[in-house]
């Protein structure tokens, strides 16, 4: 059974995962409007990952006898100055998510809720991958330094990304 404090933290993060998904879909829409369909694809895959994360939290809360509570959220940004700016925004957002996950691990450890600590360990590892993935694109965009040919090549590469849900434990 979840304590009220842990249940509230899990619900907050679950809703933040939905907000994250909205951010990435907004970025996808912006990339589509710029005719950068490969970058849009990258963001749509990121959206799918965030929805997968949302569902993991939803299921865990229910499995532990908690109550899932959905909340409203702010609208995400809709404009970016460049592909680089969009990915820098994505990385900054993932760093916020990492901090939130780490805080929940600390809170769960302090509460001696080891089932939640164990559950959150998957997200600790996932956040390493999330930050590295966004940063990798940032580094590539910096290498091409806005050169249209380089951005075009990266756009084609980003179009190859696919979502493969992780196997259930």
pLDDT for the residue numbered 167:
76
What is the Cα–Cα distance from 66 to 24, expressed in whole angstroms? 28
Phi, psi values for residue 142, rounded to 5°: -65, -35
Question: What's the pTM?
Answer: 0.94
For the chain, give every domain's residue range: 4-70+81-158
pLDDT for the residue numbered 148:
81
Phi, psi values for residue 40, rounded to 5°: -60, -40
Tell me, which fold does domain 4-70+81-158 have in CATH?
Ferritin (1.20.1260)
Per-residue pLDDT of 63-108, as tens digits, reads 999 999 999 999 999 999 999 999 999 999 999 999 999 999 999 9
Residue whose structure tokens are 């091409």: 144
What end-to-end distance do the CA atoms of the chain give, in Å? 21
């Amino acid at each position: 059974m979840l304590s009220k404090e842990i249940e509230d933290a899990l619900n907050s993060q679950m809703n933040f995962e939905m907000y994250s998904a909205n951010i990435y879909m907004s970025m996808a829409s912006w990339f589509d409007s710029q005719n950068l369909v490969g970058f849009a694809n990258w963001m749509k895959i990121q959206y799918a990952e965030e929805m997968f994360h949302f569902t993991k939290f939803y299921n865990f809360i229910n499995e532990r006898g908690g109550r899932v509570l959905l909340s409203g959220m702010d609208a995400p940004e809709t404009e970016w100055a460049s592909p680089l700016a969009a990915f820098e925004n994505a990385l900054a957002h993932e760093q916020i998510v990492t901090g939130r996950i780490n805080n929940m691990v600390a809170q769960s450890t302090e509460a001696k809720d080891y089932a939640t600590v164990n559950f959150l360990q998957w997200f600790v590892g996932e956040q390493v991958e999330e930050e590295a993935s966004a940063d990798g694109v940032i580094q590539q965009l910096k290498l091409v330094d806005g050169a249209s040919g380089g951005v075009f090549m990266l756009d084609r590469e980003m179009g190859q990304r696919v979502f493969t849900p992780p196997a259930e434990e």
